A and B are shown apart, each in its own frame.
Chain A
Amino acid sequence: MSSPLLYVENLKEYFEIRRGPFGKRSYVKAVDGVSLTLAGREAISIVGESGCGKTTLGKTILRLYEPTDGKIIFRGRDVTHLGWRELKWYRRETGLVQQDPFGALPPFMTVKRILEEPLAIHGIKDRKEREKRVYKALERVKLTPIEDFINKYPHMLSGGQQQRLVIARSIILEPKMIVADEPVSMLDASVRIEILKLLQDLQRRYDLSVIYITHDLSTTRYFSERIYIMYAAHIVESAETKEMLVNPLHPYTRALLNVIPDPDPSNRFMIKEVPIGEPPNLINPPAGCRFNPRCPNFMKGICDTKEPSLIEVGKGHYVKCWLYD
């Protein structure tokens, strides 16, 4: 791997909250010191439960939020605090696929207008040229025959077709990287794989890198090369997909892998071990390791006092846990 496409270092995103006009100021630390790298044409996934900060991480990487601290380097350029003029360049180079396709599409615009809008904003004034690009994008996401779709409104499309349209919009400026935030969680089982395969196909064919954000570990096996496990605003473990699934190290990762069912009739006779409690709130996370109140391997005096650091335990396998330090 030469220099990576994206390099994120110690990224932090805090949201200020205040109770009442003179209330005490406090912060929701939604992303708290995350580092990751993404190579060209690579697909990685960020896995975590709701409220762990994975969506905020995705949006901060895309600079939809202004980072509180840390660094985002994209194609060798520091984009952490770009002003709006240069940000437009970054917008062109990146794309977002949202979770709820219907909510992400303007209901009063046709497919054609939805796809033309980003082109117009980014200065493609020639109508013929715009049309050509719209056709190309629709072809790439296989919304064909194009004439059947181009004049339709979003509500006339099925859920899977709407998500294809969202993907078409995210790639129409031919970006180098897209963030797909739970792209299939609102879709039916039989369509999910179709959409994920489409994303994979685009990634491989068109020189695209994908950050796939999900709560569903079982799909990451098929659609990403590297997994980052996120818990309470931290990355607690990262490894290549195969390694992560065969050799999970962090107690949280192990718990997750243990409870996800495969279709197997013997499941119904087994009571599974589940960590007690709930994830902490991100205003006042527990001291030390954030998983310590729920951890089956809790060590008193260590885990609840000092925060472990993310250390490399095997080739490319990082874990943030005192058990391995």
Chain B
Amino acid sequence: MGERHLSIKSLVMYYRTLRGEVKAVDDVSFSLPKGETIAVIGESGCGKSSLAKSIIRLLPRNVSVYKGTILFNGLNLMDLDEETFTKEIRWTKITYVPQAALNSLNPIIKIGDQMIEPLLLHQKMSKSEALERAAKTLKAVGVNEAFLHHYPFELSGGMKQRVIIAMSLLTNPELMILDEPTSSLDVLTQANIMNLLKSIKKEMKISMVFITHDVSLSSELADKVAVMYAGQIIEFSDAEAFYNNPKHPYSQKLMESVPTLRTDKKLGFIPGSPPSLLDPPRGCRFADRCPFAFEKCVKDPPIMHLNEGFYAKCWLYEKESP
């Protein structure tokens, strides 16, 4: 593997609610070489959005624990104070496309004016210079620059999504975090956006963290795959290995539940539901739904290294671990 561009070790983020502490991100580690994309796959409530927000430090107000290391180009982001982080990292080197991005445009500000805000704020550009950059970026994502002077309601869903992606490209970021970027779009529009992201990845060499619940869709971008379950990454793998031969029983079951269009297969599902993040089980968190569970699973499985830095968090792979 090439140079490690982003390397996350033992990241933890808990937040406090009336009912107790929610362990949304609980000891998560992975690394990503420059220019590659990691897909974080998981079902709702598994902590994948929390993971995204933890990387770019957009924490909930009631956060109670936030620790671990996030090495970005060799720099530990956790060491930076809030001011430096805002100035140098967030919205400049690392950008974020939020979930339900379609609603994240301000309805009463013209597209152009809201696009250039980070440039004026973080890079102290002049307004005309910033607008020129915005026009160029819009063109790059396939939106006519005339839309700079329009309001969001004049755009279709797919166009809005392109504008948001353009916004996140404006500052020439090195890493984009995409949280379900197409979840409210139609099939054809979704394919369009995926084409756009693929060409951004190829031509601009931007690394991406792609958060999604859709296993099929994840394969459109992923070079690496992380599967999240109950606040933890239970499998971290290379795309080729993962889509052909997932290792963790949860990944296998999840793959079985994906309907395919081109091949016949027997569909399966996972009975039961994931544990609450308020009080996750002590042992393996998937144990009570796992068809392969055995005595050992009452203890929390450590990360079992498979090869080349990939792993599964499952007792079944104990022997293979070096």
Contact = CB atoms under 8 A, between A and B. Distances in A.
Interface of A: 49-50, 158, 160, 188-194, 197, 215-219, 221-222, 245, 255-257, 259-265, 267-268, 271-272, 274-275, 278
B134 interface: no
Nearest to A194: B269
Nearest to B225: A265
A245 B267 CA distance: 18
A298 B37 CA distance: 37
Given A218-B261, A264-B219, A271 B199 contact: yes
B188 A257 contact: no
Contacts of A217: 187, 261
B319 interface: no
B253 interface: yes
Contacts of B239: 265, 268
Contacts of A275: 188
A278 B269 contact: no
Interface string B241-275: 01110000000011101111111000111110100
Contact of A263 (B158, B221, B258, B267): B258
Contacts of B180: none
B92 to A, nearest CB: 27
A216 B292 CA distance: 32
Nearest to B258: A263
A193 B257 contact: yes
Interface string B210-234: 0001111111111100000000000
A197 B269 contact: yes
A189 B254 contact: yes
A278 B261 contact: no
A265 B219 contact: yes
Given A217-B261, A271-B198, A256 B43 contact: no
A259 to B, nearest CB: 4
Nearest to A188: B43
Contacts of A255: 188
B10 interface: no
Contacts of A260: 187, 216, 261
B269 A191 contact: yes
B220 A268 contact: yes
A160 B270 CA distance: 11
Contacts of B222: 265, 268
A257 B262 CA distance: 9
B238 to A, nearest CB: 9
Nearest to A260: B261
Nearest to B39: A268
Nearest to A271: B195
B160 to A, nearest CB: 12
Please indicate which of the listed interface residues B194, B217, B253, B255 has the most CB atoms of chain A within 10 Å of its own CB: B194
Contacts of B198: 268, 271
Interface in B139-198: 156, 158, 186-192, 194-195, 198
A216 B189 CA distance: 14
Nearest to A191: B269
A186 B87 CA distance: 38
A218 B156 CA distance: 25
B163 to A, nearest CB: 15
